[in-house]
């Protein structure tokens, strides 16, 4: 079977870095990113499943809790999905009024908790698209060329490129970076 010579510029779905894919269906820049994405999906699915089973287990209890004006700390954890420690810290800080009716009989106002922990929808900030490189290789330096021209080690060049978010493109074993941005960056330093 013949090997494909396609080089399709794409963004990795995991790390959002540009890479050149050899097939149209390629989604990740490396096996590492593909594995990481798969593990994250499994973790999210497991979390959603745990949340659903917890909800199914405690649906009757939740219905009972929602009718009472005062609830225990354990019931508040079930109803609001907050840890007991967080609720206790809020009680100590005075942010939640609590009544101690005896040993292990602390009660808090359900209405006050609802007011404090209602869901607030925040507008999503638009995700910043990474800068795509539109430079030809003749308009770019290789890392080694930058190192020689400015007398800087290659590792320092790489760190500086990452720090300032300068676009780069790897072709084969060479990394190309726009001349105009490098000259502007290193001429000021």
Q: Is the pLDDT of residue 2 over 60?
A: no
Q: What pLDDT shows up at residue 122?
A: 60
**Does residue 112 belong to any structural domain of this protein?**
yes
**CATH number, domain containing residue 110:** 1.10.10
Could you tell me if 8 and 45 lie in one domain?
yes
**Does residue 145 belong to any structural domain of this protein?**
yes
The DSSP secondary structure of the chain, one letter per residue, reads -PPP---EEEE-TTT--EEEESSTT---SSHHHHHHHHHHHHHHHHHHHHHHHHHHHTHHHHHHHTT-SEEEHHHHHHHH---HHHHHHHHHTTSS-EEE-STT-EEEEHHHHHHHS---PPPPPPPPPPPPP---GGGEEEHHHHHHHHT--HHHHHHHHHHTT---EEETTEEEEEHHHHHHHHHH-
Counted domains in the chain: 3
Could you tell me if 44 and 62 lie in one domain?
no
Q: Is the pLDDT of residue 170 over 90?
A: no
Q: What pLDDT shows up at residue 31?
A: 92
**Does residue 128 belong to any structural domain of this protein?**
no
Could you tell me if 111 and 153 lie in one domain?
no
**CATH number, domain containing residue 145:** 1.10.1660.10
25 to 22, 42, 169: CA distances (angstroms):
9, 21, 20
Could you tell me if 62 and 46 lie in one domain?
no
In which domain, by residue range, is 181 found?
Answer: 134-189
Could you tell me if 180 and 157 lie in one domain?
yes
Could you tell me if 65 and 41 lie in one domain?
no
Query: What would the pLDDT profile of 121-161 be if each residue is shown by its tens digit?
Result: 666 777 666 556 577 778 888 888 888 888 888 888 888 88
Q: How confident is the model at residue 46 (pLDDT cuts 50, 70, 90)?
A: very high
Q: How confident is the model at residue 1 (pLDDT cuts 50, 70, 90)?
A: very low
**Does residue 129 belong to any structural domain of this protein?**
no
**Does residue 185 belong to any structural domain of this protein?**
yes
**Does residue 121 belong to any structural domain of this protein?**
no
**Does residue 122 belong to any structural domain of this protein?**
no
Query: What would the pLDDT profile of 54-67 be if each residue is shown by its tens digit?
Result: 778 777 777 777 78
Could you tell me if 40 and 73 lie in one domain?
no
- What integer is the mean pLDDT of 98-107? 84
Query: What would the pLDDT profile of 56-95 be if each residue is shown by its tens digit?
Result: 877 777 777 778 888 888 888 878 888 899 999 999 998 8
- What integer is the mean pLDDT of 158-180? 86
């Amino acid at each position: 079977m013949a090997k494909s010579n396609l080089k399709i510029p794409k963004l990795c779905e995991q790390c959002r870095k540009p890479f050149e894919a050899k097939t149209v269906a390629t989604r990740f820049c490396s096996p590492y990113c593909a594995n990481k994405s798969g593990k994250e999906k499994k973790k999210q699915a497991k979390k959603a499943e745990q949340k659903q089973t917890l909800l199914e287990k405690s649906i009757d209890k939740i219905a009972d809790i929602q009718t009472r004006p005062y609830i225990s700390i354990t019931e508040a954890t079930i109803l609001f999905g907050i840890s007991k420690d967080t609720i206790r810290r809020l009680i100590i800080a005075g942010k939640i009024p609590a009544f101690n009716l005896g040993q292990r009989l602390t009660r808090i106002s359900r209405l006050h908790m609802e007011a404090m922990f209602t869901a607030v929808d925040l507008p999503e900030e638009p995700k910043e698209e990474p800068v795509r490189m539109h430079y030809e290789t003749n308009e770019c330096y290789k890392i080694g060329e930058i190192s020689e021209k400015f007398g800087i080690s290659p590792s320092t060049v790489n760190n500086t490129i990452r720090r300032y978010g300068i676009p780069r493109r790897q072709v084969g074993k060479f990394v190309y970076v726009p001349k105009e941005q490098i000259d502007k960056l290193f001429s000021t330093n």
